């Protein structure tokens, strides 16, 4: 019972964050070349967009789980 409410709260917060930010970004290190002791690395910044419908759906499911009577 407490696990369901906790899951609902987490999903509700994640859904609201997805709606507010629209996605998240991260940095990926890539080794481009290696010659002897020298290495050339490139940092690529990637962005993952979360669709609007997914954020709404996760927030609704979280709200339903919180509102359920146990």
| pTM score above 0.85 | no
Q: How many residues does the chain have?
A: 70
Q: How many CB atoms lie within 10 A of CB 5?
A: 14
What average pLDDT does the segment 60-64 reach? 93
Task: Give the model confidence (pLDDT) of 50-61 as tens digits.
Answer: 999 999 999 999
pLDDT at 31: 77
Q: What angle do CA 52, 56, 59 make, to 5 degrees?
A: 140
Domain that holds residue 12: 2-67
Task: Give the model confidence (pLDDT) of 2-41 as tens digits.
Answer: 888 899 999 999 999 999 998 889 998 887 787 878 888 8
Q: Report the domain count for the chain.
A: 1
């Amino acid at each position: 019972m407490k696990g369901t409410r906790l899951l609902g709260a987490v999903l509700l917060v994640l859904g609201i964050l997805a709606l507010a930010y629209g996605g998240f970004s991260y940095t990926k290190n890539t080794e481009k070349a290696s010659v002897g002791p020298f290495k050339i690395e490139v940092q690529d910044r990637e962005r993952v967009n979360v669709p609007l419908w997914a954020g709404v759906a996760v927030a609704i499911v979280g709200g339903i789980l919180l509102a359920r009577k146990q």
